[in-house]
């Protein structure tokens, strides 16, 4: 039977490589289509690589602990021409040529495990080292307003550094410009300091936050009385978390005016096609943001099971692919940490992030009783791209969310 390469698939929109953590098969094993054969780690989650079709594993070229770019060959499979045709590994006109072993660089991108456009294929002849680099993770360059000479930029690229790594470094050049000499002294000083490797997730978070700050961001805060939500939570059996109430209220508010969750591209505001909302989950050395799709079309009760499942999978770093990728906004609840004020940063591909602060008992004036009464209140902080929203629109959005939370039974 002809042999075909099994290659590292595209595991996410911004994932350029993955590290082999476990090999689940051995040469000579007979496998079925879509069978898990490798467990790999990306900067976002633990995931599996599956077989493109049924057949026999003839060779395993990947090594445990090694990181491979998308499109790199990691194994070979012997398969019938019929199975290869069904899997899209070959075209009908290519069946005659399929009997010869495939070699790296001679097959087109049609032989990738999953279909990948040529523009997305990263061509590397050898795997990258296990140690993560700044170029790994989310491969989007960051432009700094600080002038760096071409010579200095070249030197930084050699070491896998970017302009954000030089924050706080005083320059001796004209106008405080950092010179190559300043940079070399900085590197020498680092050698005298204790250093530990940053995890792939920490590098991904850092890269994401740098890209977020290329936009003008602002934050507004509104106090929200939470007594109605807490009372409703006690009455229902499922006990949804406060974040889920806020997610549902945010989805309804955004569905009423999708422009506030849009993105400014040139002179056009691009409205979202769906109200897909993510929520931050603390994971080992970082944060994952699973996404629930079409939140505005689901009730609170319908959202509870997938929400609970995604929290568990995120903590295990085993998020399914459909729960990864861009939403239009994110909910982050920092209340459990006792935080009463914060300025969350929206993800680069999003315009909004809603932060929930810790609840506190405060006196609130009751018009009916004519006196102050104790209420559980939480500060809701909305951070946003100031190009899309102004303070007034952001405040109205928060007020609408607060009003919806006063009638949690309708969520």
Predicted confidence (pLDDT) per residue in 192-220, tens digit: 778 777 777 777 778 888 788 878 899 99
Q: Which of 120, 142, 173 lies at the terminal end of a domain, its last residue?
A: 120
Q: Two tokens at 405?
A: 């939370």
Average pLDDT of the residues in 146-155:
75
Same domain, 208 and 227: no
Whether residue 133 is predicted with pLDDT greater than 60 in this model: the reply is no
Whether residue 361 is predicted with pLDDT greater than 60 in this model: the reply is yes
Whether residue 231 is predicted with pLDDT greater than 90 in this model: the reply is yes
Q: CB-based burial of residue 363 (10 Å sphere; 0-12 exposed, 13-18 middle, 19+ buried)? A: exposed
Whether residue 10 is predicted with pLDDT greater than 50 in this model: the reply is yes
Range from 2-16, 28-42, 252-266 carrying the lowest mean pLDDT = 2-16
Same domain, 262 and 336: yes
Domain that holds residue 203: 133-214
Q: Which of 88, 120, 152 lies at the terminal end of a domain, its last residue?
A: 120
Q: What is the total count of domains within the chain?
A: 3
In sequence order, what are the residues at sequence separation of 6 or more whose Cβ sits closer than 8 angstroms to the Cβ of residue 111? 4, 5, 7, 89, 90, 102
Q: What average pLDDT is seen over the chain?
A: 81
- Residue 126 in any domain: the answer is no
Three-state DSSP state, 385: strand
Report the run of H or E that residue 303 belongs to, with start and end: helix 300-315
Angle between helices 391-405 and 242-256 (to 10 degrees): 120
pLDDT at position 77 is 92
Same domain, 33 and 137: no
Same domain, 290 and 356: yes
- Residue 127 in any domain: the answer is no
In sequence order, what are the residues at sequence separation of 6 or more whose Cβ sits closer than 8 angstroms to the Cβ of residue 402? 222, 224, 225, 380
Of 215, 327, 211, 325, give the one whose Cα is nearest residue 264: 215
Which ranges of 92-241 does DSSP label H, i.e. alpha helix?
150-159, 180-190, 200-212, 227-235
Whether residue 166 is predicted with pLDDT greater than 70 in this model: the reply is yes
In Å, what is the CA distance from 21 to each residue of 37, 102, 114?
A: 11, 26, 20
Whether residue 364 is predicted with pLDDT greater than 90 in this model: the reply is no
Same domain, 296 and 362: yes
Of 154, 135, 152, give the one whose Cα is nearest residue 16: 135
Same domain, 197 and 230: no
Is the distance from CB of 161 to CB of 178 less than 8 angstroms?
no
- Residue 128 in any domain: the answer is no
Of 97, 77, 100, give the one whose Cα is nearest residue 87: 77
Residue tagged 């296990």 (tokens) = 130
Same domain, 206 and 229: no
Residue 44's pLDDT band (boundaries 50, 70, 90)? low
Same domain, 362 and 253: yes
Q: How many residues does the chain have?
A: 411
- Residue 125 in any domain: the answer is no
Phi and psi torsions of 312, nearest 5°: -65, -45
- Residue 91 in any domain: the answer is yes
CATH number at residue 20: 2.40.50.100
Angle between helices 150-159 and 180-190 (to 10 degrees): 20
Is the distance from CB of 15 to CB of 42 less than 8 angstroms?
yes
Same domain, 188 and 53: no
Average pLDDT of the residues in 342-358:
91
Same domain, 199 and 274: no
Whether residue 102 is predicted with pLDDT greater than 80 in this model: the reply is no
Q: Two tokens at 282?
A: 């603390």
Average pLDDT of the residues in 99-114:
42
Q: Two tokens at 49?
A: 């690589």
Q: Which of 214, 232, 263 lies at the terminal end of a domain, its last residue?
A: 214
Same domain, 112 and 148: no
pLDDT at position 141 is 32
Average pLDDT of the residues in 318-339:
88
- Residue 278 in any domain: the answer is yes
Average pLDDT of the residues in 357-381:
91
- Residue 273 in any domain: the answer is yes
Q: Which pTM was predicted?
A: 0.63
Cβ neighbours of 28 (radius 10 Å): 10
Range from 55-69, 98-112, 297-311 carrying the lowest mean pLDDT = 98-112
Measured CA to CA, the distance from residue 330 to residue 219 in angstroms comes to 14
- Residue 237 in any domain: the answer is yes
**How far, in whole angstroms, is CA 384 from its chain's centroid?**
18
The backbone region for 128, taken as left when phi is positive above 0, alpha when psi lies in -120 to 50, beta otherwise, is beta
pLDDT at position 356 is 95
Whether residue 319 is predicted with pLDDT greater than 50 in this model: the reply is yes
Instruction: Give the rounded percent of residues in the chain with a pLDDT score beyond 70.
Output: 84
CATH number at residue 403: 3.30.559.10
What is 243-270 written as a DSSP string? HHHHHHHHHHHHHH-GGGG-EEETTEEE
Average pLDDT of the residues in 105-115:
40
Whether residue 22 is predicted with pLDDT greater than 50 in this model: the reply is yes
Return the beta strands (E) in 44-143 as ranges.
Answer: 46-50, 55-60, 67-69, 73-78
Same domain, 227 and 206: no
Residue 168's pLDDT band (boundaries 50, 70, 90)? low
């Amino acid at each position: 039977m002809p042999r075909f390469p099994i290659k590292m698939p595209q595991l996410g929109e911004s994932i350029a490589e993955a590290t082999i953590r476990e090999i689940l098969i051995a040469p000579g094993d007979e496998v079925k289509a879509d069978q898990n054969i490798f467990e790999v780690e990306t900067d976002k989650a633990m995931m599996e690589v599956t077989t493109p079709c049924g057949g026999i594993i003839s060779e395993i070229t990947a090594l445990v602990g090694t990181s491979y770019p998308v499109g790199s060959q990691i194994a070979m499979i012997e398969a019938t021409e019929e199975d290869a045709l069904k899997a899209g590994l070959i075209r009908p006109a290519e069946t005659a040529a399929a009997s010869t072993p495939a070699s790296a660089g001679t097959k087109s991108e049609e032989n990738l495990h999953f279909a990948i456009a040529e523009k997305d294929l990263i061509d590397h002849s050898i795997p990258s080292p296990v140690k993560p680099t700044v170029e790994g993770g989310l491969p989007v360059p960051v432009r700094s307003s600080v002038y760096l000479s071409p010579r200095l930029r070249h030197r930084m690229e050699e070491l896998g550094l970017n302009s954000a790594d030089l924050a706080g470094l005083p320059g001796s050049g004209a106008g405080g410009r950092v010179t190559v000499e300043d940079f070399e002294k900085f590197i020498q000083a680092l050698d005298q300091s204790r250093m530990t490797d940053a995890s792939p997730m920490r590098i991904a978070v850092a890269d994401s936050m740098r890209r977020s700050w290329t936009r003008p961001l602002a934050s507004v805060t509104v106090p929200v009385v939470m007594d109605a939500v807490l009372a409703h939570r006690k009455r229902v059996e499922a006990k949804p978390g406060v974040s889920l109430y806020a997610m549902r209220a945010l989805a309804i508010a955004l569905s009423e005016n999708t422009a506030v969750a849009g993105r400014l591209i040139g002179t056009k505001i691009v409205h979202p096609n769906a109200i897909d909302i993510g929520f931050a989950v603390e994971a080992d050395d970082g944060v994952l943001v699973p996404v629930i799709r079409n939140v505005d079309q689901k009730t609170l009760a319908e959202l509870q099971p997938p929400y609970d499942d995604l929290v568990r999978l995120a903590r295990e770093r085993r998020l399914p692919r459909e729960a990864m990728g861009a939403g239009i906004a994110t909910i982050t609840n920092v209340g459990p940490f006792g935080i009463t004020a914060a300025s969350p940063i929206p993800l680069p591909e999003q315009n909004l992030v809603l932060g929930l602060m810790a609840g506190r008992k405060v006196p609130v004036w009751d018009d009916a009783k004519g006196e102050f009464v104790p209420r559980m209140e939480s500060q809701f902080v909305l951070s946003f791209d100031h190009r899309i929203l102004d303070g007034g629109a952001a405040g109205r959005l928060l007020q609408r969310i607060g009003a919806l939370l006063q009638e949690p039974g309708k969520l």
